[in-house]
Structure 1
Amino acid sequence: MNYTVMIAGMAVVTIFIKAVIFVLGDRVSFPPLLREALAFVPVTVLTAIIVPMVLAPHGHGLELTWRNPQLVAALAAIVVCAATRHQLLTIGVALAVFFGWQFGVL
């Protein structure tokens, strides 16, 4: 299948869904259970993107060793986030650990 057609099709579907919700506005009301479930979508999508990149950064097999800078930085981010709950500090420490580990240790 042509990638351009596929990407265009995905864009049309996404825009259509968002446009319908935007145009209908308050006339559409979701049940409370569905509204609560939709609140977890961003976290779920982000986790589905990040976890494979951390555990298998080269795309073939798990790399659960200290030589994996993505894994070390993710563990550092978890510790900093749990200790401080400060997002910018967590991102800064994770980036510093990642680049330090990648260029300093390896």
Structure 2
Amino acid sequence: MRSIRYGNTDITCLSIKGLDRKVIAYDKFDSQDEFCEGRIMEDLFEQCDIMSLHVPQAEKTMLMVNDEFLNKFKKPIYLINNVRGKVVRIAYLVKNPVLVRRKVLVYLI
């Protein structure tokens, strides 16, 4: 599992680690502990199977997940949106199902 903004998600990472899976995360504050390896964003685009978003709604994260963002992934992902607010461009996901299916296998809110 890969996570953007690790912060206080220890329990999520602990439960995933219990399934014998590798957990890496990108956090601009460089969070890292025994449950999760801190990485750069490019690592997530290359290695990700499951993307779990944990970012606050802010100017830099507003509509962050869009076609440009999704096209950076090397393979299709499961996208889990744990965010309140407009971080994921949901209209894009709905209006472009064929394109999105190439990058997003499942979208969970």
Q: Shorter-chain TM-score category? A: under 0.3
TM-score by length of 1: 0.23
Higher relative contact order (CA 8 A, sep 6+): 2
Which structure: greater strand fraction? Answer: 2
TM-score by length of 2: 0.23
